[in-house]
């Protein structure tokens, strides 16, 4: 578990809550845990974000979306990308996990269960469609860097699983 204090100004939080990851529109960047700090300094909103995966192509768009949202709310904004500490799936909020499940992406399990799931040792990932645990991994890599592809053996629906990263 990576414990990390996040400082987000109360004034900026509701604005940032409206910005979402373009790849997962149901998940706000706050719930995804990529906003590491947001403060107003000398009238300028300074936001620090960290990538989920190094190559995540959404980061540039997220940076621009933050600037746009803050500008609309009347703030000049400065967005910095930071690498340390490295993002962890533990930083996805409970609210975020529920939003993921509803959207059809199984939320990350804790580390040891995740490893077993991805190695195909046990069926622990729940189907987002019918809740069955009778599921199998189709591919360790999915439609985006952060996901693996699963299939439900009961309802036959394919679904994404958000890989555990700690």
Partner 1 sequence: MQKDILIKYILGIADNSLILGQRLGELTGHGPTLEVDIAMTNISLDLFGQVRSYFQYTAQLSEEDKTEDDFAFLRKEREYINVLLVEQPNRDFGYTIARQFLFDHFHFLFLNELQNSKDKTLVAIAKKSLKEVSYHRRFSSDWIKRLGDGTEESKRKIQIAINDLWRFTEELFHQTNADVEAIKEGIGIDTDKIKAKYLENVSEVLAEAMLEKPDLKFFQEGGKKGIHSEHMGYLLNDMQYMQRTYPGMKW
Cβ proximity to partner 1, 112 vs 139, nearer residue: 139
Q: Which of 26, 61, 124, 145 binds partner 1 (CB under 8 A)?
A: 145
Residues of span 56-115 touching partner 1 by CB under 8 A: 56-57, 83-87
Q: Which of 18, 48, 53, 93 binds partner 1 (CB under 8 A)?
A: 53
CB of 9 to partner 1, least distance (A): 25
Q: Is 1 in the site for partner 1 (CB under 8 A)?
A: no
Indicate the SS3 state at residue 127.
coil
Contact 97, 81 (CB under 8 A): no
CB of 84 to partner 1, least distance (A): 4
Cβ proximity to partner 1, 15 vs 160, nearer residue: 160
Contact 131, 50 (CB under 8 A): no
- How many chain residues touch partner 1 (CB under 8 A)? 24
Q: Judging by DSSP bridges, how do beta strands 76-81 and 44-49 pair with one another?
A: parallel
Q: How many CA atoms lie within 13 A of 11 on its CB side?
A: 12
DSSP for 121-148?
SS--PPPTTT--S-EEEEESS-SSTTEE
Residues pairing with 105 in the sheet: 160
Planar angle of CA 41, 62, 98, nearest 5 degrees: 105
Q: Is 22 in the site for partner 1 (CB under 8 A)?
A: no
**Residue ranges in contact with partner 1 by CB under 8 A:** 51, 53-57, 83-87, 118-119, 138-143, 145, 149, 163, 165-166
């Amino acid at each position: 578990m990576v414990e990390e204090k996040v400082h987000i100004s109360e004034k900026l939080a509701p604005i940032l809550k409206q910005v979402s990851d373009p790849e997962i529109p149901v998940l706000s960047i706050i719930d995804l845990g990529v906003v590491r700090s947001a403060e107003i300094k000398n009238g300028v909103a300074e936001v620090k974000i960290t990538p989920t995966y190094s190559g995540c192509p959404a980061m540039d768009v997220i940076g621009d979306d933050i600037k746009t949202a803050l500008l609309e709310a009347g703030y000049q904004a400065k967005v910095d990308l930071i690498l340390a500490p490295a993002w962890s799936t533990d930083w996805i909020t409970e609210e975020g996990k529920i939003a993921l499940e509803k959207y059809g992406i199984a939320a990350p399990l804790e580390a040891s269960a995740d490893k077993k799931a991805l190695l195909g040792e046990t069926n622990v990932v729940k189907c987002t469609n019918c809740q069955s645990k009778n599921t199998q991994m189709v591919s360790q890599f999915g439609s985006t860097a952060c996901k693996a592809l699963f299939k439900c053996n009961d309802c036959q629906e394919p679904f994404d699983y958000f890989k555990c990263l700690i």
